[in-house]
Structure formats: C-alpha cells, structure tokens
Chains A and B, each alone.
Chain A
Amino acid sequence: MSTALQDDMFTPDVIADPYGYYGRLRDEDPVHWNETYEVWVITRHDDLVWLTRHHELFSSAVFKNDPRPAYPAIDESDLGLYEYVRNYQGDQFIQHDRPDHLEMRKVVHGYFTPKSLEEWRPFVQKAVKELLDAAERNGRMDVMRDLATPLPVMVIAQMMGVPEPDRPHIRELAEKLLYIGRGEHDRMRLLTEGMKGMIDYVSPLVDERIVNPGDDFISVLASGEKAGIFTRHQVLVNTSLLLLAGHETTINLLCNGTLSFIQHPDQWALLKKDPAGAAKLATEECLRYDSPVKSIQRIASEDVEMRGKMLKKDDRVRWFISSANRDPAMFAEPDNFDITRWPNQHVAFGSGIHHCLGATLARVEGQEVFKALAERFPGFRLDNTALEYHPSITFRSLKSLPIHWQ
C-alpha cells in the first residue's frame, strides 16, 4: 500500500521536481480529484490528447465558466480585483470555444504558420548573434537574463512594432502577469497591475494601427476589429496576450533546454558534432524533456467519464504536460534526454484546436539558440550555484541560469 498523495501542488518539492510528483499521480491515479483545490488532475499522455481534442466536452473559457472561487484562495478584499481578472482573461481568444474561437483564430493564424515564420529566421539569427557577442566579451552570462529573456522579447516586440525603448517596460508588466499561475493569497494585486498596465500601454498603439495599418501583428489584430470579430477590449487584451505569450514560454524553453544539455554532456557532445543538423530534433526533445508550460486548465462542459471517474459539468480539469511528456506508455525510456528521438509526439504545445499559436516561433528561436551555443561556447559550464524555480503550477520557470566559459 503506497502512502496517500498530498494535494498541495505549490510545495517546494513539487515545484523543484514536478516529474516525481505528477509522474507518481500518472502511475497511481491518472484521473485524480485534488480535494484541496477542487480540480481534476490529468496526467497521462493519451488522456491529455483525448481531452484536448474533444473541445466540445471541455471548455477553454476557464475564467468565465468557472463557478468556483479563485484557487488557491485569495484575500477577501481582492474579490473585486478577481472580477477584473476574469473579465480580462475572458476576452483572450484562447479562452473562447467554437464557433467564436475559430473566427478569432483565423484572424491571427496566418501570421504564425511555419512558412510565414521561416521569414523571421534571419532576424532571430541576427538577434542571437548580437546577444552572444555581448556575452562573449564577459566570458560569462546568466542565460536567463542575458539571452533567454531578451531574445524572445526582441522578436515579439519587432513583430508587434513595439518601439525598442519600451521593451523593458513590457518585460516588467509581463513579470506581473505571470502571477496568474502562482499561489500567493495577494497575487491579484500584482496581476491586475500588470493587466491594467498592459491595456494602458497598448491602447495608443492599437488606436494608431486602426487608422494606419502596417504589416505588424497589432495591425492584424486591429483588422479583426474592423471585420467585427473582435471588440476593442478584445484587441487590447489579445495584443497584451501575444506580447506575453510570445516571449514568456520561449524563455523557459531556452533556459530549460540549456540546462538539459548541461545535465547530459553526452547529448551536448552529440549536438556539437553537427549543430545545424541536430538542432531541429534536439529542440523537440528539449520541449518534451523539461517543458516550458507545466499545465493548462479546462472546465467540463457536461458530465464526462474518464477512467471510471465521473467528471461533473462545471468541474475544473487541469492537464499536466510535465507528466504526459514523460509517460512510458508513449515514450521509450521517457526519463532519458535523447536529442535524436523520433517520432517525438510530445504535447508541450498542447493538442487539438487550441494547439499553441506560437509553436513554430518558439521552435525557430530554440533551434537558433541551441545551434549558436554549441558553435560558439562549446565548453561552457554551469556556475557552482543552486538552481531555483518560480513557484508556479503553470510555468516551469528558472529564476536564473549562470554559466561561464573562461
């Protein structure tokens, strides 16, 4: 008889090693009712794929359709702020179901296809080169601060036509928005500060692009307003969403991937032998092995049975990428980091109609960074330091990753 599973997903050991905790759930109770937070925890790969592809059974409008209070609990005095968060989140296109979701996604989808994004590869290469040139002179860098954070911010800001001096401000606001996946009881304050700050920042940009559309991504969103698909508030919220989502998750891919190579010198050696040739599959394995996003939520749209358990209409259902991507039923030797793995049907970007819009952009940035690191700093080492993660159940996010090569 195994010991009972504790249900607090925010404890330091679960944050440090999600693979142990969610892996154990996957093996022992793959459709698990978490009593503490009143949420179903789904941990198997096949269940995750099934669930995400049956969007008619599981709503993505997780704020609008959630009848329960915020979890973990928030200060009672912040209930008004939570309402603001619900309205803000509820206007994101990813928090819509069909048919509205399809119309919204069609507005933005064409900008992010593999073919469109291939045209951005030279810009990404140039940005990586600039950042590594600056780091080279110092002989050391914090991968988080000096590479993984500025690169995706540069790229998404360029796509959205955000002026360069404003980029640190965007990052500052983004850091507040990350409190969406955290457990602090007073998190609604920072979260709403970030949301209001984003709306204030993007409003004049949107006003301008409505009148003078260009080929940037804000103009694409603005065209959705003209077509009657988005309201103005939805354009503002989705501009903010794309600014955030366009960089936050990629930051984690770049840092977690670099760390995976540090922890597996044999795979680093393999990448170094042929950086250009190996970077593509290596990036997929980085996405699988230590995924940037740990979990995403839905709300059951009707009663649904999964593995003998009855999920009731309106129940929260949270699916864990971290455990699904280590599922032995799907991957041979799932805990091995193998940069030649193929096929590699990881679910780092989710699956189904809500599959990550920016997946290809993340891939391009990952490929270019891992290739460039292998070419330029083949002998880099991790500083002698303890690594720490932000206490989020949504993001797998290092606080810093200091390395040196001199």
Chain B
Amino acid sequence: MAKKVRVRVDHNLCVGNAMCETFAPHVFRLNDDRQSEAVDADADPVEQILEAAESCPMSAILVEDAETGEQLFP
C-alpha cells in the first residue's frame, strides 16, 4: 500500500509559478486567481508530489504523511 499524504498550499505565499502543476498535474490545479490548489492528494504518486513541493519557489506547499501527520516537506 503506497503512502498517503495530505497537501496544502499557503495562499499567502503562492505566486502562481505553476511548476507544481507541471510535476504533479493531477494533484495541483490553478484556481480563478491563478493560485495553486491541491485538489486531490491521491491523484499522483507521492514522489511527484514531493518533487512539485520542492520545485515551488516560495516553499508554499506543505506535504504531510496522512496517517502519522509527520511533515514531509518543507
């Protein structure tokens, strides 16, 4: 069973750079303000989600282990 994660995007930080959408296109989607939202944390592999979080120039993406609550990024 693959690890499940919770994903949040901090809209005080997000600048709509949209790299997250490139790395994990099924998880992240830009809203009407062109800020990223995590629409479905299970839609791409965790490795891709972490890559997306690392690629964020603002470190606006928080990734946690869904079971333990452990912070995986940043």
Task: List A residues at the B interface (Cβ < 8 Å).
Answer: 53-54, 102, 105-106, 109-110, 112-115, 343, 345, 349, 351-353, 355-357, 359-360
Contact partners of B13 in chain A: CB under 8 A: 343
Across the interface, A114 reaches (CB within 8 A) one of B12, B15, B22, B59, namely B59
B23 CB to closest chain A CB, in angstroms? 9
B56 CB contacts on chain A under 8 angstroms: 113-114
Q: Which residues of B contact A114 (CB under 8 A)?
A: 56-59, 74
Instruction: For the complex formed, measure the closest distance between the CB of A113 and the CB atoms of chain B, giving whole angstroms.
Output: 6
B35: shortest Cβ distance to chain A, in Å?
Answer: 8
Question: How many residues of B are in contact with the other chain, CB < 8 A?
Answer: 17
Q: Chain A residues with Cβ under 8 A from B33's Cβ?
A: 53
Interfacial residues, chain B to chain A (CB-CB below 8 A): 12-13, 15-19, 22, 33-34, 54-59, 74
Is there contact, CB below 8 Å, between A113 and B12? no
Residue ID in chain A nearest B30 by CB atoms? A53
27 pairs from A and B in contact (CB 8 Å cutoff): A53-B16, A53-B33, A53-B34, A102-B22, A106-B22, A109-B19, A109-B55, A112-B57, A113-B55, A113-B57, A114-B57, A114-B58, A114-B74, A115-B54, A343-B12, A343-B13, A345-B12, A349-B15, A351-B15, A352-B18, A353-B18, A355-B15, A355-B57, A356-B57, A357-B57, A359-B57, A360-B57
Give the docked Cα–Cα distance between A356 and B15 (Å): 11
Q: Which residues of B contact A102 (CB under 8 A)?
A: 22
Name the B residues within 8 Å of A359 (CB-CB).
57
Q: Are B16 and A351 in contact (CB under 8 A)?
A: yes
The answer to whether B16 and A353 have CB atoms under 8 Å apart is yes
**Bound Cα distance A82, B12 (Å):** 41
B17 touching A352, Cβ below 8 Å: yes
Given A54-B34, A114-B58, 11 further pairs, Cβ under 8 A: A106-B22, A109-B19, A113-B55, A113-B57, A114-B59, A343-B12, A345-B12, A349-B15, A353-B17, A359-B57, A360-B57
Inter-chain CA distance A371–B18, complex, in Å, is: 32
CB contacts (< 8 Å) of B16 on chain A: these are 53, 351-353, 355
Shortest Cβ gap from A119 to chain B (Å): 13
State how many angstroms separate the Cβ of B36 from the closest Cβ of chain A: 11
List chain B residues, Cβ under 8 A from A357: 57
Docked CA distance A114–B15 (Å) = 14
Distance, CA A109 to CA B22, complexed state (A): 12
Contacts of B74 in A (CB 8 A): 114-115
A349 to B54, CA, bound (A): 19
In the complex formed, the residue of A with least CB distance to B73 is: A115
Give 10 nearest A-B pairs by CB, closest first: A53-B34, A343-B12, A355-B17, A53-B16, A351-B15, A355-B15, A352-B16, A114-B59, A115-B54, A353-B18
Quote the shortest CB–CB distance from A331 to chain B (angstroms): 13
Alpha-carbon separation in the docked complex, A311 to B63 (Å): 41
Would you give the shortest CB distance from A30 to chain B, in whole angstroms?
19
What A residues does B57 contact at CB under 8 A?
Answer: 112-114, 355-357, 359-360
With both beta carbons as reference points, the residue of chain A lying nearest to B59 in the complex is identified as: A114
Bound CA–CA A112/B56 (angstroms)? 10
Contacts of B18 in A (CB 8 A): 352-353
Distance between Cα atoms of A109 and B16 in the complex (Å):
15
Q: How many angstroms from the CA of A349 to the CA of B33 in the assembled complex?
A: 18
Specify which chain B residues have a CB less than 8 angstroms from the CB of A355 in the assembled complex: 15-17, 57
Minimal beta-carbon separation of B22 from chain A (angstroms): 7
A53 to B36, CA, bound (A): 12
Q: How far is the CA of A112 from the CA of B19 in the complex (A)?
A: 13
Whole-angstrom distance between the Cβ of A325 and the nearest chain B Cβ: 14
Contacts of A351 in B (CB 8 A): 15-16
